[in-house]
Amino acid sequence: MNVQKAFDKHVASMPINAKLSDLESRLDKIDVAISSARSYLDASMFIQGELDCLNGVAHAEGKGTDYDRGYAARYEMEQLLGEIR
């Protein structure tokens, strides 16, 4: 018996509540994966803040904490580089 047939037989024998519980567990794992992906998206906002600072764009309020951090980090770096030169 192959794995898929064994799995199908197992699922078919499960009561509906167990199937729903299994589905909820899988959805929770998907939610965790989505949250993880969102943290990568926040990294893009950090980079956008840095780029805006480098390009001389005025700081934009309300773009989020990561944007603010990126803008501030680049601003501080530029100030330090100016002191060194």
- pLDDT at site 46: 92
- pLDDT at site 41: 67
Q: For the segment 43-85, what is each residue's pLDDT rounded down to a tens digit?
A: 889 999 999 999 999 998 999 889 999 999 999 999 998 877 6
Dihedral, CA of residue 40, residue 44, residue 45 and residue 48, to nearest 10 = 170
- pLDDT at site 85: 64
pLDDT grade for 14, boundaries at 50, 70 and 90: low
pLDDT grade for 5, boundaries at 50, 70 and 90: confident
| DSSP assignment of 11-46 | HHHS-HHHHHHHHHHHHHHHHHHHHHHHHHHHHHHH
